[in-house]
Structure 1
Amino acid sequence: MPHRIDIVTFHDPPVPDGASPWVPGAGPSFHIDVADSDPAWQGWFDELAGRVRRALGWRALVIEHVGSTSVPGLPAKPIIDIDLVVADPADEASYLPALEAEGFELRVREPWWFEHRVLRSLEPRCHLHVFGYDSPEVVKHRLFRDWLRGNPDERDLYATTKRDAAATANEAGEHSMQYNARKEQVVREIYQRAFLAAGLLDG
């Protein structure tokens, strides 16, 4: 399990010289489409989680619906974010071929950031985030999701932030990573309140 200090710390290691998080042929998307919350998203997750479980069986230690589509009432890009925990994300041979056989495609490889990998599905649209069992990011994502589910005022603040960031990014011709950067300050402020409420920070 990750240590408390790692859960409340925002880890932003630089990309090593000469490296890229994107696999060849991949890159960030342009035009940010933030849609109204859709009850169908839960069904999309259920379908995708079933495909992951079918591919990996017990090697899928955790399969969690995270991100904005996991929060009822929250507008989101219509892309399901899933956290998948495996024993060793660096051992791609132990999970990647099986996921590829289920229609997932590797897009991101970040060994310098908790061995993070991202695979995508196009139908339903999905970003499958692969982490190890000791990654603090999995705990963070679950905490953020549950905090927004339980606090409508925080959910509404984040909704406004997302729509404003998308409008500005689209007008400027920016890509998805720049859109994420525009949300970052508010996201971290929400996290701080969630950390305090959970007793992970001293008030």
Structure 2
Amino acid sequence: MVHFTDMRTITIVQADPRWEEEFSKIKAMISGHIGDLIIGIEHVGSTSVPGLRAKPIIDIDVVIEDMTCFPAIIERLNHAGFDHEGNLGIEGREAFKRRFDDGFMPYHLYVCPTDSKGYREHIAFRDYLRSHPDASREYERIKQGLARLYPHDIDRYLSGKNNFIKEILKEALYGNEKDI
């Protein structure tokens, strides 16, 4: 299933069980390039939550033990056609972007150490939504409303989700800590 969308327009679509299949294909490709350097590859983000409407873009966390292998990952992924984009303002995750259309559905690729805040938050949020259907439905409602209000403004769309995400992370990961 190749499902390309205009990545500048925020579109929330019906959940598609094929998203997991697409993730598996992308995972196999990534593993072929850097599998010996990593701990695992995780499907995160809304497309990883069964039944949750989402932007049809797969979010992927490549998990590493620590940053010692990161230069080799940059080199191999560069050779495979990926550009390293830095952390894009989020500590503990390094983004990569494919330089060409590789035939997969759109995806975001991040490399994260196991102890990084970015990775821990991705997993905690995903797992919380998977096990709390009411929270998943509320998140879907928020995303759909924001996509209608800001179909061409990704910053406002993302900002509009922040309070909900922070509340979930407080409960799922941080407990009584005030600042997350």
TM range (shorter): 0.7 to 0.9
Return the offset for 1:35: 1.0
CA distances 1:19-66 after superposition (whole Å, capped 9, x unpaired): xxxxxxxxxx53101111000100011011111111012202221110
Distance 1:186 1:98, change over 3 A: same
Amino acid at match of 1:96: I
**Which residue in the other structure is 1:168 paired with?**
149
Query: Does residue 169 of structure 2 align to residue 188 of structure 1?
Result: no
SS where residue 83 of structure 1 aligns? Answer: strand
SS where residue 76 of structure 2 aligns? Answer: helix
Query: Does residue 85 of structure 2 align to residue 108 of structure 1?
Result: yes
Amino acid at match of 2:126: R
Query: Does residue 91 of structure 2 align to residue 117 of structure 1?
Result: no
Count of aligned residue pairs for this structure pair: 167
Query: Does residue 139 of structure 2 align to residue 158 of structure 1?
Result: yes
Identify unmatched segments of 5+ residues in structure 2: 1-6
Distance 1:158 1:115, change over 3 A: closer
Distance 1:115 1:137, change over 3 A: closer
Would the aligned equivalents of 2:90 and 2:118 in 1 still touch at CA under 8 Å? no
Amino acid at match of 1:151: H
Return the offset for 1:191: 2.0
- Counterpart of 2:121 (choices 136, 140, 145) is 140
* Pairing of 1:44-55 with structure 2 (within 5 A): 44-55=22-33
What is the alpha-carbon distance in structure 1 between the residues aligned to residue 60 and residue 108 of structure 2? 6
CA distances 1:152-172 after superposition (whole Å, capped 9, x unpaired): 1000000000101111112xx
Would the aligned equivalents of 2:94 and 2:110 in 1 still touch at CA under 8 Å? yes
Identify unmatched segments of 5+ residues in structure 1: 1-28
**Which residue in the other structure is 2:4 paired with?**
none
SS where residue 150 of structure 2 aligns? Answer: helix
SS where residue 95 of structure 1 aligns? Answer: helix
**Which residue in the other structure is 1:26 paired with?**
none
Would the aligned equivalents of 1:51 and 1:102 in 2 still touch at CA under 8 Å? no
Bigger Cα displacement from structure 2, 53-62 vs 109-118: 109-118
Distance 1:112 1:38, change over 3 A: closer
SS where residue 106 of structure 1 aligns? Answer: strand
Identical aligned residues as a percent: 31
Q: Provide the aligned C-alpha RMSD in A.
A: 2.4
Return the offset for 1:92: 5.1
**Which residue in the other structure is 1:130 paired with?**
111
Amino acid at match of 2:17: P
Query: Does residue 68 of structure 2 align to residue 98 of structure 1?
Result: no
Would the aligned equivalents of 1:89 and 1:116 in 2 still touch at CA under 8 Å? no
